[in-house]
Amino acid sequence: MTAHPNSTEARDIRYHLHSYTNARKHEEVGPLVIEKGDGVYVEDASGKRYIEAMAGLWSVAVGFSEQRLVDAATSQMKKLPFYHTFTHKGHSPAVDLAEKLVSIAPVEMSKAYFTNSGSEANDTAMKMIWYRSNALGQPQKKKIISRRRGYHGVTIASASLTGLPANHGSFDLPIANVLHAGTPHHYREAQPGESEEAFATRLADELEQLILAEGPETIAAFIGEPVMGAGGVVVPPATYWEKVQAILARYDILLVADEVICGFGRTGNMFGCQTFGIRPDILVMSKQLSSSYMPISALLINEKVYGPLADESNRIGTFGHGFTAGGHPVAAAVALENLKLIEERDLVGNARTVGAHMQKRLRELADHELVGEVRGLGLIAGVELVADKAARTPWKNVGALGGLVNGHLQENGVISRNMGDTLGFCPPLIITEKQVDDMVDAVKKALDTAL
């Protein structure tokens, strides 16, 4: 790139290593620097406006310019900018938020525990599960089953749970005690002519076979996103969760629902668990918890988890886990205000009504030559691109077409995210039908340009 050497772009290339980026390619193409946000829009350094169709990273429920969150942060900063929750200490934002989260949980939960990112929360879930097994005198019960294409984060444990190749190979992951089951992706994984229900039955049977082969007494937990996000917006087939849960119950296996994307309205209910009838023992949340204005994540744990954990901490003398900034008062205050806004403005209802409109409009793309499948629910959707509709095959290598169309889409003023060849759409929950129309028109144009 030819930007001035002191420009933000040039200095970015010189000093800044980006997440989830081809570092060598970045040296050539440089960054898209976003300077401002306004509702569902963001603006780059040149003044170009974009509909942020991914809500940042599936996260900004209330949009990019919510003054009430700024005020909540400012007033908490002035009152108590930091305190922690180690060794019996605490502060009211953490208590208020814990109470609120337990009260809105989709199933009965005992306690909330605070962390700073989805990865830390899933890492913590894994440690709590191991701690519990030890507490129960079942040290052999340590394996956790995740799924291929699942996304649970990037710490050593959570990246192991993640079921995507880029998170494993060169990092020497996954670690021991992590297993991956099949992906509930009907379009890609079902056999020809297999109905959704038959596919769900087969996946559940395969899960049971995996459990039996490993030894049920060695399996501690199963973790899954209600709808897979980063794996390509994979909506599970009808009856999948019901069948999976029946098997977990049969072998006394805990269920962790990773609601980091689905939580707080995304699927048209407060939690994805409600949309799919999931009854988790641990519920993990982040992102829309604070609309990502501040980093915060949380786990809700039920009595089956809390009871043994409390006993073990009593035996040892402490629950030897915690992050300095876990439950940070400013982040907790922002999260509380954010939840208030979600309720006051009925953003969950908006995810249902505007979501239905978005699903309908995006499905109009299904006939396009480059579109293999459009899937989603509420305000989350994936448009999977193919070079050959009948054979469902990609163009060149996987991701090439997704990258190309995503580039055109960005030129047309919409920021999406291509997960391989699937374009993700997960806009702020405040989006209007008119803004959805603008977004879909831009997608159509980008697809036509790519033909």
Of the pair 162, 412, the CB lying nearest ligand PLP is at 162
Ramachandran angles phi, psi of 205, nearest 5°: -60, -45
Of the pair 142, 266, the CB lying nearest ligand PLP is at 266
| Smallest separation, CB 229 to ligand PLP (Å) | 5
| Smallest separation, CB 147 to ligand PLP (Å) | 11
| Smallest separation, CB 77 to ligand PLP (Å) | 22
Residues in the chain: 451
Of the pair 135, 419, the CB lying nearest ligand PLP is at 419
| Smallest separation, CB 110 to ligand PLP (Å) | 22
Residue nearest ligand PLP, CB atom distance: 118
| Smallest separation, CB 59 to ligand PLP (Å) | 8
Of the pair 130, 151, the CB lying nearest ligand PLP is at 151
User: CA angle, corner 224, sides to 62 and 271, nearest 5?
Assistant: 35
| Smallest separation, CB 163 to ligand PLP (Å) | 11
Q: Which residues of 337-350 are buried (b: 16+ CB within 10 A; e: fewer)?
A: bbbebbeeeebbeb
From residue 180, alpha-carbon distances to 64, 176, 284, 423 in Å are: 36, 12, 19, 24
For the record, the structure tokens of 174 come out as 């996954």
Of the pair 76, 286, the CB lying nearest ligand PLP is at 286
Of the pair 76, 292, the CB lying nearest ligand PLP is at 292
For the record, the structure tokens of 138 come out as 């079942």
For the record, the structure tokens of 331 come out as 């982040």
Of the pair 207, 296, the CB lying nearest ligand PLP is at 296
| Smallest separation, CB 360 to ligand PLP (Å) | 25
Residues near ligand PLP, by CB under 6 A? 57, 117-119, 122, 151-153, 225, 229-230, 258, 260-261, 286
Q: What residue type is 331 in one-letter code?
A: A
